[in-house]
């Protein structure tokens, strides 16, 4: 609702801005009122979103780890080491058998557990250390 209101006020501001003649904009009160109202309700909505939807939430680390373990995107780290075709085969195997990428990689025999753990480090891949 806030977004609809802000977008509507933005349109009103744009239209009012086109109605000025000779650099005398008689629509300035409309522009100012709509801008201030839009800024106010947008700020209030951000505050309420933070207060009622974000504060107090906690990450479910176990679920996040499970999602990361099942992410087929991690196979891109293996490609430079074992080659694209083998990495692709591992990703397909994990997908087809509904297993983790690590399980599929180890079952394939293309890479050892130690090498997999050394190469596939999701936190490092996204710039976290």
Give which of 9, 18, 15 is closest to 36, Cα–Cα.
9
Sequence-distant contacts of 43-49: CB under 8 A, at least 24 apart:
44/2, 45/2
Say what the pTM is.
0.59
Question: By three-state DSSP, how is residue 21 classified?
Answer: strand
Domains and CATH numbers, the chain: 2-54 (no CATH), 61-125 (1.10.40.30)
The angle that helices 84-97 and 101-108 make with each other, rounded to 10 degrees, is 120
Whether the Cβ atoms of residue 113 and residue 99 lie closer than 8 Å to each other = no
Torsion (CA) 21, 26, 32, 38 in degrees, nearest 10: -80
- What's residue 85's pLDDT? 95
Q: Report pLDDT for 129.
A: 66
Q: 7-52 pLDDT, tens per residue?
A: 999 999 999 988 877 777 789 999 999 999 999 999 999 999 999 9
Query: Residue 79: its pLDDT value, please?
Result: 92
User: How large is the average pLDDT for residues 56-75?
Assistant: 91
pLDDT exceeds cutoff 90 at 3: yes
Looking at every residue in the chain, the average pLDDT score rounds to: 92
């Amino acid at each position: 609702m806030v977004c609809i209101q802000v977008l509507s006020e933005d349109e009103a501001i744009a239209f009012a801005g086109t109605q000025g003649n000779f650099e005398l904009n008689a629509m300035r009160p409309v522009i100012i009122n709509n801008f201030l109202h839009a800024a106010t309700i947008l700020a209030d909505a951000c505050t309420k979103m933070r207060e009622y939807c974000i504060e107090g939430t906690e990450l479910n680390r176990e679920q996040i780890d499970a999602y990361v373990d099942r992410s087929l995107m991690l196979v891109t780290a293996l490609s430079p080491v074992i080659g694209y075709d083998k990495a692709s085969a591992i990703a397909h195997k994990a997908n087809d058998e509904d297993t983790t990428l690590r399980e599929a990689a180890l079952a394939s025999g293309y890479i050892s557990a130690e090498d997999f753990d050394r190469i596939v480090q999701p936190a490092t891949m996204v710039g976290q250390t």
